[in-house]
Structure 1
Amino acid sequence: MSALTRTNILSLYRSFLRVIERWPTDYLRPNRNLKHILHLRVTEGFKQNIAVKDANVLRALVLDAEVELDALRRLAENEFKEKYPLSDRIYRPAANPKYYSGLVAAIDKTAKLKQEADLKPSLWKRLGFWTRKFFWN
């Protein structure tokens, strides 16, 4: 593999990592973090293909990775949300005009409560000291 190709692949890898770093965190589902899954997929994908020596296969892999990177960038930058904006009629349906604003407020409230709960020790951890002290001695 030539130095130029290696440099291009490393640059492509770093571009993936920069886009993934900007990806928002989902506080409602911390166990299903898309940012983490994307990072794992990219690192594993590049590791699996590190031994590829065939120039045609390598070129095809790089082209596929560039297409995926472009799609990921477009999603991260909300390109389609800006390109195809939704009308006010969608956000405020006649049957229940406050539905979506209430839904967003409820999600934000739940996320905030989830973050606060993660900071507090669990009941079992707080009781653990007492159960060990009185029941196991």
Structure 2
Amino acid sequence: MALRSALQKQYMTLLSHWPADPLRPNLSFPDTLRRRVEQELGTPHPPESSPQTPTNTDAKEVGVGSKFDEGYEKRQLNALSSLLEDRYKKMYPITDRILMPKSQPDYYKKLLDELDVAPKRSWLEGQLNSWKGWIRLR
């Protein structure tokens, strides 16, 4: 039980530092993962001064009947922290040869510019851009 609460605390700490996605503000990765953690590890309860006996609802919330794999959860936490810290970006830096291919040297620069502009676009502008792309392909 203490292990589950410690893992849950680590998850919540990581998720509190997770950046918001400007392209999909209505789809939140931390919220989705928070629901998964609550389902797998149980809902967080504030510490109480008086111990009480667990009821059927408490056992259901904590997921006592579900299969709990400590190693799996630790690997998941390690993967999340790796992504949050950009561990692999630092370990395997991207060279200019990859960022500026000979066929289209400014492709990634245009892509990043588009990603900066896209969240600020209105719905109508987004639809017009998609139609422009569709017409251009025909």
The answer to whether TM tops 0.5 is: yes
> 2-side partners of 1:51 and 1:105: how far apart?
45
Q: Give TM-score scaled by structure 1 length.
A: 0.66
**Count of aligned pairs between the two proteins:** 106
CA shift, 1:69, in A, is 0.7
Residue number among 7, 21, 24 corresponding to 2:2 in the alignment: 7
Could you tell me which amino acid in structure 2 is paired with residue 99 of structure 1?
Y
Q: Please state how far the C-alpha of 1:35 moved relative to its aligned partner.
A: 2.1
Q: Is structure 2 residue 34 aligned with structure 1 residue 39?
A: yes
Q: CA deviation at 1:52?
A: 2.2
Quote the Cα distance in structure 2 between the aligned partners of 1:92 and 1:7.
Answer: 50
> What is the deviation of 1:71?
1.2
Residue 86 of structure 1 corresponds to which residue in structure 2? 94
Does structure 1 residue 24 correspond to structure 2 residue 32?
no
Identity rate of aligned residues, in percent?
A: 28
Residue identity in the other structure for 1:87: T
Matched residue type, 2:25:
P
Q: Deviation per CA, 1:63-99: give whole Å up to 9, x if none.
A: 2211111111111111111111121111111122111
- By percentage of residues, which structure has more helix? 1
2: CA distance, partners of 1:11 / 1:23: 19
CA RMSD of aligned residues (A): 2.5
Q: Max radius of gyration: which structure?
A: 1
Please, which runs of 5 or more residues in structure 1 have no aligned partner? 1-5, 119-137
The alignment's TM-score, normalised by the length of structure 2, stands at 0.65
Unaligned 5+ runs, structure 2: 43-59, 124-138
* 1: CA distance, partners of 2:62 / 2:103: 56
C-alpha offsets along residues 107-129 of structure 1, whole Å, 9 cap, x if unaligned?
A: 11112x15xx59xxxxxxxxxxx
